[in-house]
A and B are shown apart, each in its own frame.
Chain A
């Protein structure tokens, strides 16, 4: 008790300033919490219950929903496996991950998809256990390789699932799914392109250096909304009239622009990593008889990327948040759905804040998972 009291005195009432700060802080926290709690208790959340399907997949027809859920199952299972396999698991972090997994599931589960949720839950637990057990077994290397490969082929498989057997038109994709897909594509395509650009900017070839620098600076010069608008107005006129490229649908155009935009930002991050590699590494690899290509691929790049992993993940988070800007292309992403519900459904007129709160919560959960993962990697690599 005395320890507690002295701890309190030290923490809250150390000096006059501390007393004032503690009191204002307590009042502030009380104000925020009371507003939040009264908002949560006083608002009518049937809005989500009715529109769960709309929020998850937008205007996708009901009979195609299985595609979205299959993708979610695959991603969730892969994610739990990798977390179990790569990360140190303690009770605190596992509770955190389980809670975060539950929030989207609770929001999105409907009667028709209950089976999917159960399926995801059971398989996740099984794979979590398997991943955890194989961490220290002889199969370690093989499992690690399998997980890596699955992450790489995850996106093509998702596309296959979305398009196989007469899939819905791309313009019908929507809701939270399209945010996740756009972010995944932008990261998947932007990352290799970003590496190339970073290498180009660090290259000794003057022309390549000039072009990479110009590209990076111009892309970073204007905001993303401007580039998206460019994709809307101008991009189709510049694409060749081959294979129907000139009338690409708006979702693909958004994907192209997001990837190009992401690549410029990723390139800048990786350039920082490249600059921090001491010159001795390069000289040593030349002394070992490597040529400049294998030096780049096997010596410089792995070290550079390792250093900047946390920054890259925060770039990924930024890209994920930026997918909400596709509102300007009239793609029905989560935010647009969240704004349309209170405008178009009579039962929910004027409930904009509730619907926006759900949208914010979903974005927040995914970003929080990513930033947690980045923090774990940071600790693990000891950067």
Chain B
């Protein structure tokens, strides 16, 4: 109390005792400690700023011509005449691409392996245990390099495995058949995606309406119909032409092999993806297993007593309840996966970290580049956390 502090000072004790009293006062002590700490921090801050001012600062160098090519570009077209900013963004998109695909696949793998880990079936159980014990305890970097080596051991492109002309497996990459379309295709995909979201929202609204008012229609059918209508109208409006794209290998007039068509998984991308998925999958397996094990056993027994089969038991009873305790640690694993994708620098997959390192080597300005890397990763982490928090809110609300 300030007033009591004041009265204490009025007493006529020795200075030593006064100081002692002063220091015993909680408010003063808090203030004093934080003040000293603050001054120390301020000094450190000035020291760092002073040192930093001697370095190259600013992002001006990022606007000049890049001068390096990237082996993988996605969505944006980038060549070595573009600015370094463009190169950096191409790297960011590569990171997002590998992380996004990795997150989806790792989640699927993790959930299946987590269920397998609890399976009474001896073989399945042991496969899952072996997978976790072996993959989790070796460094991710070793695994990335291992997958790259394996993929480079595939036959040379002149002797590529074709699997009846449907796909091409060679050490230049794996080509899989896809359905391709004319130039409006990406727009149509976007519209399809939006349509899917709209119909899902419509479905939940209709279900709510049905519960409260009338029981005359099927929300599932109506929302599906909406989706189909959106798809068909946009299909004709954009005059989409779909055609299957089958990969093939040809020899051009110089005698070099050209692979074309289909969807390509380059060895670098595939190596990073496989390693990330398998590695993160082990952690997700353990999370899923732990969450399911923490559910009371009565839930499974009750579901069995109601006559639900294994599939219904898992999807209707166990997973929805387990999800509540799965999602927070799962978010952490997603963040780890995104950050771990920076290890692709070891096998030259041009993610944002590798591009920044190239820029640092070419143009210096290490400190600003670090700030940029940090900001980018923090932004990615924040976006993932935000999405997962929204999902978490929904999941907990459904359960309650």
Interface residue ranges, A against B (CB under 8 Å): 10-12, 14-15, 17-18, 21-22, 25-26, 28-29, 204-208, 211, 218, 221-223, 225-226, 229-230, 233-234, 237-238, 317, 321-322, 324-325, 327-328, 335, 339, 352-353, 356, 359-360, 363-364, 367-368, 371
Residues from chain B with a CB closer than 8 A to the CB of A335 are: 139, 141-142, 145
In the assembled complex, which residues on chain A have CB atoms less than 8 Å from the CB atom of B340?
223
Q: List 25 A-B contacts (CB under 8 A).
A: A12-B123, A14-B121, A22-B123, A22-B124, A26-B123, A29-B123, A207-B41, A208-B34, A221-B377, A221-B378, A222-B378, A226-B342, A229-B360, A230-B366, A321-B138, A321-B140, A324-B139, A325-B141, A335-B139, A335-B141, A353-B146, A353-B153, A360-B142, A360-B143, A363-B138
Report B340 CB to chain A, min CB distance, Å: 7
Contact between chains at B55 and A14 (CB < 8 Å): no
Contact of A211 among B41, B51, B124, B366 (CB under 8 A): B41
Contact B345 A225 (CB under 8 A): yes
Q: Is the Cβ of A22 less than 8 Å from the Cβ of B121?
A: yes
In whole angstroms, how far apart are the Cα atoms of A359 and B37 in the complex?
A: 46
Q: How far is the CA of A363 from the CA of B343 in the complex (A)?
A: 17
**Is the contact region of chain A dominated by helix, strand, or loop, or is it mixed?**
helix
CB distance from A238 to the nearest CB of B (A): 5
CB <8 Å contact, A234 and B342: no
Name the distance in Å between B121's Cβ and chain A's nearest Cβ. Answer: 6
Whether A226 pairs with B353 at a CB distance below 8 angstroms is yes
A226 and B123 contacting across the interface, CB-CB below 8 Å: no
Residues on B lying within 8 angstroms of A by beta carbon are: 30, 33-34, 37-38, 41, 48, 51-52, 54-55, 119-124, 126-127, 133-134, 136-143, 145-146, 149-150, 153, 310, 339-340, 342-343, 345-346, 353, 357, 360, 366-367, 370, 373-374, 377-378, 381
Distance (whole angstroms) from the CB of B318 to the closest CB of chain A: 16
Give the contacting residue for A356; candidates B30, B149, B310; CB below 8 A: B149
- Can you name the residue of chain A whose Cβ is closest to the Cβ of B35? A207
Q: What's the least CB distance linking B371 to chain A, in Å?
A: 10
Task: List residues of chain A with CB within 8 A of the CB of B48.
Answer: 238
- Kindly provide the distance from the CB of A332 to the nearest chain B CB, expressed in whole angstroms: 15
Given contacts A225-B353, A237-B51, contact A207 B150 (CB under 8 A): no
Of all chain A residues, which has the CB nearest B369? A233
C-alpha spacing A222/B340, complex, angstroms? 10
- C-alpha gap A356/B377 in the complex (Å): 30
Q: Please, how many angstroms separate the alpha-carbon atoms of A22 and B127 in the complex? A: 11
- Which residues of chain A are within 8 angstroms of B145 by Cβ–Cβ distance? 335, 339, 356
CA separation between A57 and B184, bound complex, in Å? Answer: 59
Residues B137 and A328 in contact, CB atoms below 8 Å apart: no
Query: Taking CB as reference atom, which chain A residue is nearest B382?
Result: A221
Query: How far is A78 from B121 in the complex, measured between Cα atoms in Å?
Result: 41
